[in-house]
Amino acid sequence: MFVFLDFEASSLAKLSYPIEVAWVFEDGRSEAHLIRPAPQWTDWDAEAEAVHHISRDMLERDGTPHDVVARRMVEQLSGHSLFASAPSWDGKWLSALLRAAKLPRHALRLRDTEEARVEGARRKLAPVVPAERLHIEIDDLLTLVEVGRKEGERVHRALADAQEEHRHWLEVVTQAEAIARKDGHD
């Protein structure tokens, strides 16, 4: 199953670490966690805090210990296709979280959400579109959906941002289904 994941972090610096994570399964189920920092995680950027509105005190008070969150992620997300809108950044924070919890840093792998949109469209269109035209139809569909989207400012909270990625993927799949039905196939 596809899963859309997002992290918020202490900063964008080299020593940054994850402070919040959320994921949304393709069926809409979701989960979110504030992450209590590992003892060795000390990086903090007030400008990043001004964007996501999560304070270090909030993490200490309300966060789930980093190792508990990491184990929960491995338990819930192993065996699924994980997607993030910024896989290099989110992958960095996922790796930091797993390493700090003494779990294999490649226990979970992230791919770009664009791949999920392409794959979602392909699932619906491949049965009704000739193979030689499939990539063109998919590109056209992705462009159509992108142009038609009302792009709001990102909330910079993990659950809201993961839900937005899920909605975008769902728009592509819904449009692909409509095209498949219009062509008299389903």
pTM recorded for the entire structure: 0.92
Q: What is the pLDDT of residue 2?
A: 98
Contacts 24+ apart (CB under 8 A), 45-49: 45/10, 45/11, 45/12, 45/13, 45/16, 47/11, 48/9, 48/10, 48/11, 48/12
Q: What is the pLDDT of residue 153?
A: 60
Q: What is the pLDDT of residue 184?
A: 55
Which residues of the chain fall below pLDDT 50? 185-186
Q: What is the pLDDT of residue 49?
A: 95
Q: What is the pLDDT of residue 185?
A: 47
Scanning the structure block, which residue is given the tokens 């975008």?
168
Q: What is the pLDDT of residue 40?
A: 95
Least Cα distance to 116 among 174, 170, 154 occurs for 170
CB contact at 8 A, 87 and 59: no
Those residues with Cβ within 8 angstroms of residue 83's Cβ, 6 or more apart along the chain or in another chain = 2, 3, 4, 5, 110, 111, 112, 113, 115, 116, 165, 169
Domains in the chain (CATH in brackets) are 2-112 (3.30.420.10), 113-182 (no CATH)
Query: Phi first, then psi: what are they for 39, rounded to 5°?
Result: -55, -35
Scanning the structure block, which residue is given the tokens 């999560």?
54
Give burial (CB, 10 Å; 0-12/13-18/19+) of 122. middle
CB contact at 8 A, 176 and 141: yes
Tokens of 94: 């996922």
Q: What is the pLDDT of residue 152?
A: 61
Q: What is the pLDDT of residue 151?
A: 65
Tokens of 70: 């990491």
Q: What is the pLDDT of residue 110?
A: 97
CA distances from 17 to 94, 100, 130, 176, 180 (A): 9, 10, 46, 38, 43
